[in-house]
């Protein structure tokens, strides 16, 4: 699926120039262009490269080519046209481009049209979106596998709601094929988020300067990792990944577990030594900011620890 903002253009450039600059073919008329008239023979760059006879009315170093540019960008920059599907613009990866998100869907309603398919809406549980096209890991990370073979990884809306504000995002270096890991600093505590399956992944380093995107748009601009290869998604080898109705049921259970966690941790003793607290209601967004260090670490271990650690300890 190609980005709708990717446009094609015919451009020209000077092969003799030390700096190659692509210009629209129709930017200037041939009469006012030195390269397209007999005056090209006065160009120092052309004369320096000239070897043998050449056409008297056209510079032999003036070339034309097909190029592409992003019409959503504030500055037009031409790049040589390519059919390479690894290019984000020529793949479903453009759905995670900030320019696309800003101009095509500023209200964040793009999910019902993911991969070009129109659906009735994004499923949710108590206000927590659970997009049907995503695969969810038990530690609240998601995997989006595109039709072209690329994939993206991030944290889900449950984690975003609990964290509220992320102070810092850092990434564990990947020198080999291993489980992608990001470390999120939340309320002064470093919380590692590790996807439970090994993939050769590229980190979204822009989150280092704008960590708020992680929780403001967890299924869009807040993605953590991008993978170039298609992982195998099947129940036999990826039992921990959930999608569809199974993901919705799991999210309901997780929200209930979160309520129980808060009740158990925040209940206080009255003058007679009895536990008291208000019943009912739901957990407030940004819960992490209201927990002390020990409670926050306990919450992170209970909800966001990597399933890899669960398997090793079982």
DSSP 8-state code for residue 294: H
Average pLDDT, the chain: 77
Greater confidence (267 vs 192) lies with 192
Q: What are phi and psi of 311, to 5 degrees?
A: -65, -40
pLDDT of residue 116: 44
Contact between 192 and 183 (Cβ < 8 Å): yes
What average pLDDT does the segment 39-46 reach?
78
Q: What pLDDT was estimated at residue 222?
A: 93
pLDDT of residue 1: 65
Residue 215: half-sphere exposure toward Cβ, Cα within 13 Å: 21
pLDDT value of position 154: 96
How many other CB atoms are found less than 10 A from the CB of residue 115? 13
- The strand pairing partners of 203, in sequence order, are 225
* pLDDT at res. 257: 94
**Ramachandran angles phi, psi of 142, nearest 5°:** -120, 155
Q: Are 272 and 239 in contact (CB under 8 A)?
A: no
Question: Could you read off the pLDDT of 246-283 as tens digits, one per residue?
Answer: 999 999 999 999 999 988 876 654 455 444 455 555 67
The pLDDT, as a whole number, for residue 270 is 44
| First and final C-alpha spacing in the chain | 42
Domains within the chain, CATH numbers bracketed:
6-80 (no CATH), 120-314 (2.40.50.100)
More confident of the two residues 93 and 223: 223
Q: What is the pLDDT of residue 312?
A: 36
Query: What is the mean predicted confidence (pLDDT) over 84-92?
Result: 61
Predicted confidence at residue 29, as pLDDT, reads 57
What pLDDT is recorded for position 69? 72
The pLDDT score that the predictor gives to residue 236 is: 41
SS3 call for 136: strand
17-31, 123-137, 190-204, 241-255: least confident range: 17-31
Q: Which residue has the higher pLDDT, 13 or 261?
A: 261
Confidence of residue 138 (pLDDT cuts 50, 70, 90): very high
């Amino acid at each position: 699926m190609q980005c709708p903002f990717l446009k094609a253009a015919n451009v020209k450039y000077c092969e003799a120039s030390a700096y190659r600059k692509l210009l629209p073919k129709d930017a200037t008329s041939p009469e006012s262009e030195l390269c397209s008239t007999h005056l090209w023979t006065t160009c120092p760059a052309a004369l320096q490269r000239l070897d043998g006879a050449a056409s008297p009315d056209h510079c032999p170093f003036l070339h034309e080519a097909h190029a592409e540019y992003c019409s959503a960008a504030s500055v037009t920059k031409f790049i040589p046209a390519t059919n390479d599907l690894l290019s984000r613009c020529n793949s479903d990866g453009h759905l995670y481009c900030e320019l696309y998100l800003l101009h095509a869907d500023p209200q964040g309603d793009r999910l019902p049209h993911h991969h070009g398919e129109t659906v009735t809406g994004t499923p949710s549980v108590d206000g927590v979106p659970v997009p049907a096209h995503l695969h969810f890991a038990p530690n609240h990370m998601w995997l989006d596998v595109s039709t072209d073979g690329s994939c993206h990884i991030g944290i889900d809306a449950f984690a975003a709601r609990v964290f509220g504000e992320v102070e810092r995002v850092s990434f564990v270096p990947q020198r080999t094929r291993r489980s992608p890991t990001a470390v999120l600093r939340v309320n002064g505590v470093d919380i590692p988020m590790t996807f439970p399956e090994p993939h050769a992944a590229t980190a979204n380093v822009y989150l280092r300067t704008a960590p708020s995107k992680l929780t403001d748009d967890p299924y869009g601009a807040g993605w953590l990792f991008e993978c170039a290869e298609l992982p195998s998604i099947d129940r036999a080898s990826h039992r921990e990944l959930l999608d569809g109705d199974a993901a919705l049921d799991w999210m309901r259970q997780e929200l209930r577990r979160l309520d129980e966690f808060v009740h158990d941790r925040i209940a206080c003793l009255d003058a007679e030594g009895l536990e008291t607290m208000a019943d009912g209601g739901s957990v407030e967004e940004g819960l992490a900011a209201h927990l002390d260090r020990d409670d926050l670490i306990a919450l992170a271990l209970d909800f966001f620890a990597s399933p890899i650690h669960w398997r090793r300890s079982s």
